Amino acid sequence: MRNTDTGFSPRERRMALLAVIAAAALAIAGLGLDRMNGPSLGLYGQDAMTSALPGVLEAHPAG
């Protein structure tokens, strides 16, 4: 049984703080990597060749 009123030891609190800092650093690194790569354009990227459908001048909603 512990003699203190706190629920966690100083070592446990330090480890929890380090885990939170590591998670924040990982999230920030992921956001930075996502910003560096730019959006995924799929078929509309620079290397993709798109051509208009024959006979289609402009798209209109049905109805």
Q: What is the pLDDT of residue 19?
A: 98
Compute the distance between CA of residue 13 and CA of residue 5 in angstroms, rounded to an integer: 14
Query: Could you tell me the residue ranges of all domains in the chain?
Result: 10-37
Compute the distance between CA of residue 34 and CA of residue 29 in angstroms, rounded to an integer: 9
Taking only the tens place, the pLDDT of each residue in 14-47 is: 999 999 999 999 999 999 988 888 776 666 566 6
Q: Which pLDDT band, with edges at 50, 70 and 90, does 52 fall under?
A: low
Q: What is the pLDDT of residue 60?
A: 74
Q: What is the pLDDT of residue 49?
A: 59
Asked whether the CA dihedral 41, 46, 48, 54 is positive or negative, the reply is positive
Would the pTM of this model clear 0.75, i.e. be above it? Answer: no
